[in-house]
Structure 1
Amino acid sequence: MAGFLDNFRWPECECIDWGERRNAVASIVAGVLFFTGWWIMIDAAVTYPTQAEMNHAFHTCGVFSTIAFFMINAVSNGQVRGDTYGEGCLGRTEKEVAPGLAVFFQNAFIFFSTLIYKFGRTEDLWG
């Protein structure tokens, strides 16, 4: 999926030079969208404070989206494309992808088992 929008170009506008301001504009727009999303949910939580009016589990989606936002932005685009890798200790590998897949699947299975263990059980049987 890396490079999906690499060839996409905004329509050229000669009145604004986006070259040096692209990062600032993207950061401001992303921050406003992030703030707006949380503001809407906080407003709904204040407007409907009880469990009967709004289920508190609805906040889970926003929390996971926020965690995903930070996780996605913690990795540079060059690392995703493989541009930053060279030869050496952490360099590119030709055929040995099994260790990387093992780490990925280990963490994926632990993540899903955590979700199932947390939300798949009922506390009614403990009493």
Structure 2
Amino acid sequence: MAAILEAMPCESCHNIELSDKRNKIASIVSGFLFFSGWWFAIDASSSDYQNTRDVFHLCGVFSALSMFMVNTVSNDQLRGEGLTDGVCGGGIAPKMWFFFAFLMGFGSLLGSCWILFGEYVMENEASRKEFNPTTIYPGVAFFLQNLFIFLSSLVYKFGRTEDLWG
């Protein structure tokens, strides 16, 4: 079998230039992470609905909104090269938008940690009166949702290059 593989002409497989495909690869990886995150949340709600609350989806919604907000600001605007004048002193508004978008994404990630540990892992008598989950999987799924969406936002923002946009 090894002789057959060695005889195959596979020179084009060894000379792959990934810099030309950087934007495509970052977009695909980011999309897969975003999809996987929402898949975890939808799976937890559909397969184990009695152990979830509908309000737990808010962290995922704000995390997804954060991803869109982060990626609306170009790197030129963050460096101050994209704008010269305008509302809020030129380059300050995009930087504030970017900062608050990351705050929202990181806050959603921390909120999902609170959901996981506060509602599913730790035993607290005050919160167990109305919500008493029997499994921990939905908490893990909501945490993974927000983690994957946050990672998707980072990959999509910093994994691409704007030089190739022309």
TM bucket, shorter chain: 0.5 to 0.7
Match of 1:77 among 69, 75, 78: 75
Higher relative contact order (CA 8 A, sep 6+): 2
Moved over 6 A (4+): none
Q: Shift of residue 93 of structure 1?
A: 5.3
Structure 2: segments with no counterpart, 5+ residues: 1-13, 101-166
Q: Shift of residue 17 of structure 1?
A: 1.1
Would you say how many aligned residue pairs link Structure 1 and Structure 2?
A: 82
Hey, what does 1:68 align to over in structure 2? 66
1:36-47 matches, cutoff 5 A: 36-47=36-47
Hey, what does 1:54 align to over in structure 2? 52
Q: Shift of residue 92 of structure 1?
A: 9.8
Structure 1: segments with no counterpart, 5+ residues: 1-13, 108-127
Greater fraction of residues in helix: 2
Distance 1:80 1:69 in 2: 16
Normalised by the length of structure 1, the TM-score is: 0.54
Tell me the amino acid that sits aligned with residue 74 of structure 1. T
Superposed CA RMSD in Å reads 3.1
Hey, what does 2:143 align to over in structure 1? none
Normalised by the length of structure 2, the TM-score is: 0.43
Distance 2:88 2:59 in 1: 36
**Structure 1 vs Structure 2: percent identity of aligned residues?**
40
Hey, what does 1:10 align to over in structure 2? none
Tell me the amino acid that sits aligned with residue 17 of structure 2. D
